[in-house]
Amino acid sequence: MTLHAVLVTERAHGLCTERELSTKPVKNSRLPNQPDAPDNANQPSQKVLKPMPSKDAPVFQHRVRMMALEDGTPARCDICSTRSRCLLSQASQDVRERIAPHIVERSIRIGSSIEAQGEGGDHLGVIKLGLFKGERVNDQHERTPVCLLGRGRIFGFGNLFKQPATLTLTAVMPARLCQIPIAILYDRAFVDRGFRQYIYQSIGRYIDTLADWSRLPREGGISGQLLQALRLIAAEEGSRSFRIPSHIELGLLLGARRESVARHIGLLIQTRQLVKLDRWHGILDPTPEELALLSAPCGPHRSHARHPALRRPLD
């Protein structure tokens, strides 16, 4: 019986606290219904105790699985605002009921990576909120941003085909995502032909997005590139109002200085191609009705970015 298994089992039975999991010594520890260990069991020359009997295995396995998912929470697909874009919501009702208990929702901090170029994994994920920059590493081991991915985009789909990731995905703003093990999808979801078809369509849209971002260098000067980048970001957010990344991130994406990005954003605001709703949010090409709404007080929303009329989906 290993030290880790003993402590996990004792924690499951309420015999020690979380702090004790890393500090509590083990001496002649035994599980319920297990005979006492011999006196020389703790000597270095002796082998560790055998694992618990199979009849107790479900308790041990369940606890280990829950510990592995401590950094996530069960997904709430029934109230998720990304359902219309989410791959996991496109399966039949029967398949959704079988995979729902295995979907885990996680919060991601700015600067955290969820996928690394050249590495594989065992999960498929969907971006729920926020933006992630996709970077490629060159021969000099320098990472260069090539795109931004947002709500509803899948990641880790290379794991479906046992292929490494093509991009390194790093959060540029606070984000949330959902993940499910590949093994669960193969076992419980791939029987649905419609679900398989939607996976292929999602991968196709992913490639379309990369092609759209590849056009940025051909959009003229910095003003044209910045305007097109903001339109692509709005499309990723799926809303008329969207959160604008920092000037530093936009500069890295466009190959421009932060000061140049700030100056050209000011020009877009002067020409009414962009209207700032608050410090972080904006809206592109506002209609006369939206301009009238923006001239009114915010009211209970505290920010125009929270107004339902400005949060409607893009056409």
The counts of H helices and E strands in the chain are: 10, 12
Q: Which helix (H) or strand (E) segment is 20 a member of? A: helix 20-23
In the chain, CATH 2.60.120.10 sits at 73-213
| 102-111, 237-246, 259-268: least confidently modelled range | 237-246
| 49-58, 81-90, 129-138, 275-284: least confidently modelled range | 49-58
Taking residue 12's Cβ as centre, other Cβ atoms within 10 Å add up to 16
In the chain, CATH 1.10.10.10 sits at 219-310
Q: What is the CATH number of domain 73-213?
A: 2.60.120.10
- Cβ-in-10-Å burial (0-12, 13-18, 19+) of 196 comes to middle
Task: Specify the fold of 219-310.
Answer: Arc Repressor Mutant, subunit A (1.10.10)
Would you say how long the chain is, in residues?
Answer: 315
Q: What is the dihedral of CA 37, 42, 44, 50, to 10 degrees?
A: 40
Report pLDDT for 42: 46
Check pLDDT > 60 for residue 274.
yes
**Amino acid letter, 4:** H
Q: List Cα–Cα distances, 211 to 68, 168, 187, 242, 254, in angstroms.
A: 37, 17, 33, 22, 15
Mean pLDDT value across residues 277-304: 75
pLDDT tens digits along 177-194: 999 999 999 999 988 888
Give the Cα separation of 240 and 264 in Å (integer): 21
Q: Which helix (H) or strand (E) segment is 176 a member of? A: strand 175-181
Report pLDDT for 308: 57
Report pLDDT for 311: 57
Give the Cα separation of 3 and 16 in Å (integer): 13
**Amino acid letter, 125:** G
Report pLDDT for 312: 54
pTM higher than 0.95: no
Q: Which two tokens stand for residue 182?
A: 């590949």
Compute the mean pLDDT over every residue in the chain, rounded to the nearest whole number: 77
Report pLDDT for 299: 52
pLDDT tens digits along 85-97: 888 887 788 888 8
Report pLDDT for 167: 94
